[in-house]
């Protein structure tokens, strides 16, 4: 099984993010703990991406504090990020995974075997030698997942990874995410799709205009939301 986690829990203490005179996130207090996937939802512009980036450590908060496993400046060695539109390195699919393994400090001798395993995990074994830039959108997203999993993360962050994919590709990605979560990786994923929330979420964080309105079990959010905005959101209304 997996080694004891040490980037979790991720603790947000009165975290605000401001840029260009605008408040993107406003006094977020939250704990992200090991367990089932947490889906971060809300209308566009709510600050989901910014929240995830703070979780990863890609940005620093303007106010407040973030700690990973109790440590305020933990290097991102135990976490990984999948972007909505991944950037493929100018090499083969296998080469991309190899790069991630190398950056994660995996010794050269172990790489070949792990590349094969990771590509199999995401269903890209047959495309190992294909130039990554020539993969389809769905295949590239799966390769991005392979790269992320290559880091052997405790925490896997995904920013609306299926937003531009067709249903079949979406399903492949969700299966991989589900499998990763089952193996003990904490998944935190931004999503705009309520169906995805129903399929994957154990916990839901609901953001509106930079504030965290609800943070509870998925069932509770979907069936008995506390706030009117959440209720409107679950109903499918626009939340302005």
Partner 1 sequence: MQEGLNAWQLIAGADPTLFAIVQLSLMISLSAVAIAAVVGLPLGALLALTRFPGRNLVIVVLNAFMGLPPVVVGLAVYLLLSRSGPLGQFGILFTPLAMVIAQAILILPIIAALSRQTIEDLWLEYRDELTAMDVGPAGRVTTLLWDARLSLLTALLAGFGRAAAEVGAVMIVGGNIDGFTRTMTTTIALETSKGNLPLALGLGLVLIALVLAINAAAWTVRVWSERQAG
Residues in contact with partner 1 by CB under 8 A are: 56, 58, 75-77, 80-81, 83, 86-92, 95, 99-100, 103-104, 131-134, 147, 151
Least distance in Å: CB of 103 to partner 1? 5
Residues 6+ apart with CB under 8 A from 220: none
Query: Least distance (Å) from partner 1 to the CB of residue 72?
Result: 17
**Residue number with CB closer to partner 1 (103 or 110):** 103
> Quick check: 29 and 54 in contact, CB under 8 A?
no
Q: Which two tokens stand for residue 185?
A: 């990786």
Of residues 167, 170, 163, 124, the one with CA closest to residue 147: 124
In the complex, what is the shortest distance from the CB of residue 126 to partner 1, in angstroms, rounded to a whole number? 17
Name the residue nearer to partner 1 (CB basis): 82 or 165: 82
In the complex with partner 1, the residue whose CB is nearer, 156 or 169, is: 156
- Structural element, H or E, at residue 66: strand 63-68
Which residue number, 122 or 197, has a Cβ lying nearer to partner 1? 122
Shortest spacing between CB 24 and partner 1, in angstroms:
17
Instruction: Round to whole Å and give the CA distance between 118 and 121.
Output: 5
Q: How far is the CB of 100 from partner 1 (least distance, A)?
A: 6
SS3 213: strand
Which tokens belong to 229?
């905005």
Nearer to partner 1, 43 or 95 (CB): 95
Nearest CB to partner 1, comparing residues 151 and 186:
151
Start-to-end C-alpha separation, the chain: 44
The 10 Å CB-count burial string (b at 16+, else e) for 50-61 is bbbbbbbbebeb
Give, as one character, the DSSP assignment of residue 24: E
Distance CA 9, CA 30 (A): 10
């Amino acid at each position: 099984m997996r080694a004891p986690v040490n980037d979790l829990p991720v603790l947000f203490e009165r975290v605000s993010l401001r840029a260009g005179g605008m408040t993107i996130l406003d006094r977020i207090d939250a704990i992200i703990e090991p367990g089932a996937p947490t889906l971060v939802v809300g209308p566009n512009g709510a600050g989901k991406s910014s929240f995830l980036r703070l979780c990863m450590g890609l940005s620093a908060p303007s106010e407040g504090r973030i700690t990973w496993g109790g440590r305020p400046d933990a290097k991102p060695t135990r976490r990984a990020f999948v972007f909505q539109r991944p950037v493929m390195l100018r090499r083969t699919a296998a080469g991309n995974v190899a790069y991630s393994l190398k950056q994660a400090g995996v010794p050269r001798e172990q790489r070949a075997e792990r590349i094969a395993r990771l590509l199999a995990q995401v269903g890209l074994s047959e495309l190992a030698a294909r130039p990554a830039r020539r993969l389809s959108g769905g295949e590239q997203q799966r390769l991005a997942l392979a790269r992320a999993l290559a880091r052997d993360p405790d925490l896997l962050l995904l920013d609306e990874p299926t937003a531009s994919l067709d249903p079949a590709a979406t399903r492949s990605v969700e299966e991989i995410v589900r499998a990763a979560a089952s193996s003990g990786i904490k998944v935190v994923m931004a999503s705009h799709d309520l169906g995805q929330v129903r399929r994957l979420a154990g916990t839901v964080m609901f953001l509106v205009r930079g504030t965290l309105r609800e943070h509870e079990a998925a069932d509770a959010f979907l069936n008995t939301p506390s706030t009117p905005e959440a209720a409107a959101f679950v109903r499918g209304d626009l939340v302005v």
